[in-house]
Structure 1
Amino acid sequence: MRWMIYGAGAVGGVVAARLAIAGHDVAVVARGPHLEAIQKDGLTLRRPDGDTVVKVDVYRHPADTEQDVVVLAMKGQDTGAALVALEGFRGPVVCLQNGVANERAALRHFADVYGVHVILPASHLEPGVVVEHCDPVPGILDLGRYPSGSDATALRLAQGLEEAGFVSQPRADIMRWKHRKLVLNLGNAVEALCGRVDGLDAAVGPVQAEGEEVLRRAGIDVASAAEDRERRGDIMRWPQGINRAGGSSWQSLARGAGTVEADYLNGEIVLLGRLHGVPTPANETARRLVQRAVREGRTPGSLTPAEFLEAVTLSTTRP
């Protein structure tokens, strides 16, 4: 099976490198300086025990190569363009992405769509280099057919990921797990705005609490926090001295990527809140402020947690 990893950033790059090291046939689609660096020097996988340079086929456009399975690993704001670029592909499409909107969008174009519950601490801050932070297991990548169910393809995909060193199993209820991850990811925008500082948890709290309430009021089945803790267990371990500066939105600001994923994380909660009559001032404030930070070219940590919470309060008192 030939894997195409469409979007070779932090998560996609680690998965592509790991699959290639395990002997799988892998191609990646990348862009800009990252594409050029991989073309020139290969993809560097930085792990706690050292660097490995992996030679993979790399392309600017998915039509430039054939593939058996396409793994979407770009941010949610780039999914629409990727689906158009894949027009004509007839195989399975796997959403290795945060948020819960990508699978529905993909199903408009493709019959066989799979979602992945992504638990993979990784970083991408320099062209040609991706970093995995946990050892010896880099991440948990359970997957299932969208909107529900499992099949032989899901099992085959999970087996491939297992061979690459991940923990992965098919789940017929994959969207329950992805909605739990959505709640956790609601703090990404706040972390990008404030950085990892004292008081961050207090600022993230209202954002996640709104998410929990909105999903409950919308009648969406969500894996519980206890289920999530049990699934993670002690599978993933952070070696001593290994630190991750920030999550995906923090990295987008730090790289000056020009976009951030908040519309498909916090924005999902805002949308559901409006559909079901639930106020979401914390999530709308987080979405609005981090998008402004992107437009203005700000770096992570431009606000304090107290300033973020004050902005949320102000948003609830405006006429």
Structure 2
Amino acid sequence: MAPDARRAAHGTVDDVRFVIIGAGAVGGVVAGRLAGSGTDVAVVARGPHLEAIRRDGLLLREASGDSVHRIPAFATPAEAGWRPDDVAVLAVKSYDTVGVLEQLPRDLPVVCLQNGVANERSALRRNAEVYGVCVMLPSAHLSPGVVVAQCAPVPGILDIGRYPAGTDGLATEIAARLVKAGFHAEPRPDIMRRKYTKLLMNLGNAVEALCGRVDGLDEATAPVRAEGEAVLRAAGIDFASAEEDAERRGDILQLRLVGGEERGGGSTWQSLARRTGSVEADYLNGEIVLLGRLHGVPTPANETARRLVLAAAHAGTGPGSLTPDEFLARLRSA
């Protein structure tokens, strides 16, 4: 059923409940912000994080102060008690996407609040209404029950569009809810073009996790990004230019200290820091490796970054195990 028809059949805009599956850094900040703005929200989490949310609420830390949100929290999507007007928001790592989708009703709209470009295609195999979000939301989740928004006063930019292209009434509704919650959000018909640009940025996540945020990091990530651009062009995949991306970002995202703590690193850095045993490099650098193999373009930089960060995750190695020079030396010997 189309979004507008669903609203007419089942209720008003105010009836929408967002069930955010994955209440980590991005999902948790979005959940807390939406809840704080009066939107009906529930989350799906696991382990100590789930226990802490159920016991103490979700603690959202921001430069402006802390807030606690008593949000319904479930261990699995099946426990959510799905309603006709619900929207499923995926905020899990890409390697968990298919497993989550298998637990969702097939008539739900699915929003991919995720990095990478493979999630939307997986969702569209099962659910007819799929939306992609280009996530620009510096955030952190390192302790159970706690998420940190690292930019203020605007926590992030979350543009949304229908997959594979276009916008509709639901995309406009979701963007409006996000704006009410303090985010910058616009419905965009070319959302995947924007997400491929974000993919290029995320190719450096593995190198950042391996080396930390240190001098020389830009030089170490440069070959990974350049290789990614070359592969996308060979594959005939359009992506927004650096100038377009800079224009959209402007000066909106302003990093701020929260509790006197410096930003440690992005999502892959945080996975190594929490010793989760897994990272989503297969869906970031691995996407470039896959496209390179399909189109006959060598991808040694992305394959090296992927191989090294996966090995670090599996070994339980924390971030910063290599210097940028050491990473580049590994790349030269690949």
TM-score (norm 1): 0.97
Query: Structure 1 unaligned runs (5+)?
Result: none
Cα distance in 1 for partners of 2:107, 2:179 equals 25
Q: Which residue of 2 aligns with 1:90?
A: 107
Cα distance in 2 for partners of 1:308, 1:236 equals 29
Cα distance in 2 for partners of 1:234, 1:205 equals 23
Aligned pairs for 1:271-282 within 5 A: 271-282=290-301
- The answer to whether residue 256 in structure 2 is matched with residue 239 in structure 1 is yes
Cα distance in 2 for partners of 1:273, 1:70 equals 32
CA shift at 1:239, angstroms?
Answer: 3.1
Q: Which amino acid aligns with 2:90?
A: L
Match of 2:91 among 73, 76, 84: 73
Q: Which residue of 2 aligns with 1:6?
A: 21
Q: Which residue of 1 aligns with 2:132?
A: 115
TM-score (norm 2): 0.93
The answer to whether the Cα contact below 8 Å between 1:133 and 1:243 also exists between their aligned partners in 2 is: no
Q: Which amino acid aligns with 1:85?
A: Q
Aligned pairs for 1:143-222 within 5 A: 143-222=160-239
Cα distance in 2 for partners of 1:246, 1:123 equals 8
Root-mean-square deviation (CA, aligned residues, Å) is: 0.9
Cα distance in 2 for partners of 1:27, 1:242 equals 29
- The answer to whether residue 47 in structure 2 is matched with residue 32 in structure 1 is yes
- The answer to whether residue 279 in structure 2 is matched with residue 264 in structure 1 is no
CA shift at 1:242, angstroms?
Answer: 6.0
Q: Which amino acid aligns with 1:51?
A: D
Cα distance in 1 for partners of 2:253, 2:284 equals 24
Match of 1:289 among 301, 304, 308: 308
CA shift at 1:89, angstroms?
Answer: 4.0
Cα distance in 2 for partners of 1:261, 1:42 equals 28
The answer to whether the Cα contact below 8 Å between 2:106 and 2:126 also exists between their aligned partners in 1 is: no
Runs of 4+ in 1 over 6 A off after TM superposition: none
Cα distance in 2 for partners of 1:239, 1:62 equals 34
Match of 1:16 among 31, 43, 56: 31
CA shift at 1:44, angstroms?
Answer: 0.1
The answer to whether the Cα contact below 8 Å between 2:155 and 2:183 also exists between their aligned partners in 1 is: yes
Q: How many residues align?
A: 314
Percent identical residues: 66
Partner SS, residue 46 of structure 1: strand
